[in-house]
């Protein structure tokens, strides 16, 4: 929400237009902003509606993105002023880029990407849709991260090679602090240093 407020202020738009949307019962306000149900959000008078989906689980984010698209709610990318974005970065819609995120060169990132505080994506990486980086993720060069992968806080992903990238498979989970030195199969959970599959 502070990032959204900052972006609106830079555009000369008042923060009173910002709301939290949650169908769970809650207080009338959260951190100074109104809390509305989804139906209440849709009922608000507006020329257009935008939403940033601040939910870590990629599958839930995708379901909500589909619901928003059906209802004409447009995706909104929110980025901190301290984000560093270098050359040839393709960033899909609906991203959240937290403070001190760095996106270096020749990177392709899909829809609704979350990059938490102090994460980075190095050169020649391809990041899929609905991927989540917890705080402090280090994704080095020549890495492919497929849709719905979750990378835990402080994880380090070793650099791949040109033509032979390291791949984090679809829906894989990289545990907090893991050091990933080889590709991770789809749906697997890996932990430790070096990272190994659980179970």
- Collapse the DSSP code of 160 into the 3-class scheme (helix H, G, I; strand E, B; otherwise coil) and give the result: coil
DSSP state string for 66-90: HHHHHTTPEE--EE-TT-EE-SSEE
Sign, CA dihedral 130-131-136-142, equals negative
DSSP state string for 112-153: T-EE-TT-EE-TT-EE-TT-EE-TT-EE-SSEEE-TT-EE-T
50 labelled catalytic:
no
- Say how far apart CA 168 and CA 166 lie, in whole Å: 7
Q: Which residues lie below 8 Å from residue 25, measured CB to CB, with a gap of 6+?
A: none
43, two tokens: 């009922």
- Say how far apart CA 82 and CA 84 lie, in whole Å: 6
Tell me how far apart the 2 most distant CA atoms of the chain are, in Å. Answer: 53
Q: Which of 50, 114, 123, 138 is catalytic?
A: 123
Please list the active-site residues. 123
């Amino acid at each position: 929400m502070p990032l959204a407020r900052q972006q609106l202020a830079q555009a000369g738009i008042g923060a009173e237009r910002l709301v939290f949307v949650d169908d769970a019962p809650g207080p009338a306000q959260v951190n100074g902003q109104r809390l509305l149900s989804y139906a209440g959000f849709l009922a608000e008078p507006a020329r257009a509606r935008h939403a940033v989906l601040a939910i870590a689980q990629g599958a839930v984010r995708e379901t909500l993105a589909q619901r928003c698209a059906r209802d004409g709610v447009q995706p909104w990318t929110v980025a901190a002023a301290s984000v560093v974005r270098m050359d040839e970065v393709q960033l899909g819609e609906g991203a959240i880029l937290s403070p001190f995120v760095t996106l270096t060169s020749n990177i392709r990132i899909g829809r609704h990407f979350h990059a938490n505080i102090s994460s980075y994506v190095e050169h020649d990486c391809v990041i899929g849709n609905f991927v989540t980086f917890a705080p402090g993720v280090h994704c080095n060069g020549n890495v492919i991260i497929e849709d719905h992968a979750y990378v835990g806080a402080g994880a380090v992903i070793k650099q791949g090679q040109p033509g032979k990238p390291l791949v984090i498979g679809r829906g894989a989970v990289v545990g907090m602090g893991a050091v990933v030195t080889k590709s991770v199969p789809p749906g697997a959970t890996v932990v430790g240093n070096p990272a190994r599959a659980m179970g």
